[in-house]
Amino acid sequence: MNLQNATVLVTGGTSGIGRATARVLRDAGARVAITGRDESRLRAITNELGVLAVRADVTNEADVERTYTEVLREFGHLDALVNNAGAGAFKPLVEMTRAEFDSIIATNVTGAMLMARAAARHFAQRQKGNIVNIGSTAALRGAPNGTAYYASKFALRGMTECWRAELRQHNVRVCLVNPSEVITDFLAHAGQGQRSPAPDNPTKLRAEEIAQTIKSVLELDDRGFVTEVTVFATNPKD
């Protein structure tokens, strides 16, 4: 896809990978919309990048519908959805509460489905489009304390394969991007004690590396597509 004047919607676009992706795609010539729940952050990134900002919660079906109404009113059509909004909670199974588990599944699984469903309807009608789901290396193997988050990323990986099988006949490309640990404030929000903003570590991935991966996936000529890509830091050290 030629990113010049392409239209892209990035969920969870006010920080971390989402924000970096919005910046990289905008710099490549795309017209970008982002979603987020924090109005002050949305205003800040709108002022910084000049993107279309939509205040929305991906777990809220009405918010999802309104998001697409606003994006299509502004752009006329959509070329790509980057399903990036995500949340985490990391606790031993015996300490995990139902509310915490449900919250992670709602954002990382149900929210991704709601956003992709609306995009798929639009893409099938246009007979082209792109869905990039931001997974995790957590989608590839389990680990202690990962019940909610890892389960959500396994589910996202499974949904990605289902959507790919369904939508190829409509020329819709569906890709999963699996980052390993990225220097963002994600773990701080997940209660893991990482400072915000997260300290730099030259051996860990930055949000920009994942944004460049997403850009490369989208830029591949429409005759082919990347099904899944996993990005590890070369030699990470704490």
Report the distance separating Cα 228 and Cα 131, nearest Å. 12
* 44 in a structural domain: yes
CA distances from 74 to 51, 67, 69, 186, 199 (A): 11, 11, 9, 30, 37
* 157 in a structural domain: yes
Q: Is the pLDDT of residue 98 over 80?
A: yes
Q: What's the mean pLDDT in 56-72? A: 98
pTM for this one? Answer: 0.93
Burial of 171 by CB count in 10 Å (0-12 exposed, 13-18 middle, 19+ buried)?
Answer: middle
- Which token pair is 35? 């979603």
Return the pLDDT at 195.
Answer: 45
176, 226 contact by CB (below 8 A): no
- Which token pair is 83? 């399903």
**If pLDDT is split at 50, 70 and 90, which confidence band does 200 have?**
confident
**If pLDDT is split at 50, 70 and 90, which confidence band does 50 have?**
very high
Return the pLDDT at 184.
Answer: 72
Please give the share of the chain, as a percent, with pLDDT higher than 90: 90
Q: What is the CATH number of the domain that holds 44?
A: 3.40.50.720
**If pLDDT is split at 50, 70 and 90, which confidence band does 38 have?**
very high
Q: Into how many domains does the chain fold?
A: 1
Return the pLDDT at 199.
Answer: 74
* 34 in a structural domain: yes
Q: What's the mean pLDDT in 182-204? A: 66
* 112 in a structural domain: yes
CA-CA-CA-CA torsion sign (26, 214, 141, 197): negative
Return the pLDDT at 238.
Answer: 79
Q: Which residue range is the domain that position 207 belongs to?
A: 7-231
Higher pLDDT among residues 191 and 4, named by residue: 4
Report the distance separating Cα 237 and Cα 227, nearest Å. 29
* 1 in a structural domain: no
* 50 in a structural domain: yes
* 170 in a structural domain: yes
Q: What's the mean pLDDT in 84-97? A: 96
* 236 in a structural domain: no
Q: What's the mean pLDDT in 211-223? A: 98
221 CB-side CA count, 13 A:
1
Query: For residue 33, what is the enclosing H or E element?
Result: strand 31-36
Higher pLDDT among residues 130 and 201, named by residue: 130
Q: What's the mean pLDDT in 34-59? A: 96
Only one residue has tokens 């030259």, namely 202
68 is an active site residue: no
Chain mean pLDDT for the chain: 94
pLDDT tens readout for residues 137-189: 999 999 999 999 999 999 999 999 999 999 999 999 999 999 999 987 665 55
Catalytic-role residue among 68, 123, 149, 225: 149
SS3 category, 219: helix
